[in-house]
Chains A and B, each alone.
Chain A
Amino acid sequence: MKELLLIAVGSALVNNVVLSQFLGICPFLGVSKNVKTAAGMGGAVVFVITIASFVTGLIYKFILGNKNIMDGKLEYLNTIVFILVIAALVQFVEMFLKKAMPPLYNALGVYLPLITTNCAVLGVALTNVQDGYNIFTGVINGFATAVGFLIAIVLMAGIREKIEYNDISESFQGTPIVLVTAGLMAIAFFGFSGLI
């Protein structure tokens, strides 16, 4: 239990996926204009990463990493298989939500397709394999990583809503000021490194 908690805190706060590993920067910069959409995107990412870490964990355990199939030499297919599974999964989740849970679909709808190209999803799947997590630990790690993304993007959106009213020098308007903000947030997140 203690170990799981350490993994969770480690991937949510200490090694924050956006601010220290730079995964998922595109949506972090692109969809953080207001808190509501940012929370929507964050929610969709939590949802997809958790499911994706479970499914890729299963596939790795029973097919790609299985010693009985091809003497366990299928590991080189990790990248190709994982990205295809994630792309298919995202499509499937979208269709399923549309049919089964329309309110959730309406909340996450437009963000779901964008997640396929969110490198955090593939990143988590590959990290799980690299660090030798079992399926359950992998799901916890995925969930915590995604929560870290949610925290970062919502904080960012909150700050950006305030920045709108500030008087920023001409050359720093737009992307540069957002990047500076992200840098300051990254420094703040360094404070968590004492946690574990």
Chain B
Amino acid sequence: MNKCMERIYNGVVKENPTFVLMLGMCPTLAVTTSATNGVGMGLSTTAVLVMSNMLISMLRKIIPDSVRMPAFIVVVASFVTIVDFLLEGFIPSLYDSLGLYIPLIVVNCIILGRAESYASKNPVLPSIFDGIGMGLGFTIGLTCIGIVRELLGSGKIFNMQVLPDSYEPLTIFILAPGAFFVLAGLVALQNKLKNKAAKKGQKEAALSSGCTEGCSSCANQSVCGGHIFPTGTDKEEKE
């Protein structure tokens, strides 16, 4: 059971998809206008991630290596369609506010990334827990951004009035630019904490941008060859 807990810790803290790996940026920025939307999107993605990780891990010895990408895509797309219908049927309000971004879970790099780098190489149980961990990490990331944006933009959290009426809502945080500013602020905050930790002589945590894990675990490795996406290191080397 220890391994499973390790997977969850890994997903939520060590390789948090939102703040550390910076994957799945489209839904992260688009649907986090309120904390509720953030939680909804996070949990939908988690459901797809767990199911697809499970199935891909079960099928990992059957799927031929050369067609694994299309096979993964079909698996993921099927689960996304199922989630799409479930949301439409049971939580129509969430379905309306997430809209186009539900079918777009298919191209969320987190899901294909985990299928490629973890589920296709590991047994079923750890893969499921890897999905849960990554999904929770993603949900937490989205919820954090959602809370900040909703609080600043309308003075509410989870649709409950928190700030006094005299607070003038900064509407821009609910509009598109606010998403970029809030994420920038949160990443900068995280960098600051990390720099502090590094200065204390602790082991430096993962780099701040792009391919954090190094190229070996990256889904785009074959085409990128380490040139395209900036990693934190090449900048430091230049300086």
Contact = CB atoms under 8 A, between A and B. Distances in A.
A183 B140 CA distance: 22
A191 B26 CA distance: 23
30 contacts: A19-B176, A22-B25, A22-B176, A25-B29, A30-B229, A76-B81, A79-B77, A79-B84, A79-B106, A110-B223, A110-B227, A113-B223, A114-B228, A116-B107, A118-B107, A119-B108, A122-B104, A122-B106, A123-B104, A172-B191, A174-B208, A175-B187, A179-B183, A179-B187, A180-B181, A183-B180, A183-B181, A183-B184, A187-B172, A190-B176
Nearest to B32: A22
B144 to A, nearest CB: 15
B180 A31 contact: no
B95 to A, nearest CB: 13
Interface stretch (B3-11, B50-58, B68-76, B162-170): B68-76
Contact of A183 (B78, B107, B178, B224): B178
Residue from the set A31, A87, A179, A187 with the largest chain B CB neighbour count within 10 Å = A179
Contacts of B157: none
Interface in A1-47: 19-26, 29-31, 33, 37
Interface in B51-110: 69-70, 73-74, 77-78, 80-81, 84-85, 100, 103-104, 106-109
Nearest to B78: A80
Interface of B: 22-23, 25-27, 29-30, 69-70, 73-74, 77-78, 80-81, 84-85, 100, 103-104, 106-109, 112, 172, 175-181, 183-185, 187-189, 191-192, 195, 208-210, 219-220, 222-224, 227-230, 232, 235
Interface size for chain A: under 10, 10 to 19, 20 to 34, or 35 or more residues?
35 or more
Given A117-B109, A118-B107, A183-B184, A173 B177 contact: no
Contact of B184 (A26, A84, A88, A180): A180
Contact of A80 (B69, B81, B175, B230): B81
Interface of A: 19-26, 29-31, 33, 37, 76-80, 83-84, 87-88, 110, 113-114, 116-119, 122-123, 126-127, 130, 170-180, 182-184, 186-187, 190
A20 B78 CA distance: 28
Given A25-B29, A79-B106, A83-B106, A180 B180 contact: yes
A93 to B, nearest CB: 14
Given A114-B220, A119-B108, A170-B195, 18 more contacts: A24-B26, A25-B29, A29-B25, A33-B230, A37-B228, A79-B106, A80-B78, A83-B73, A87-B73, A119-B26, A119-B107, A174-B232, A175-B208, A175-B209, A176-B188, A179-B187, A180-B181, A190-B175
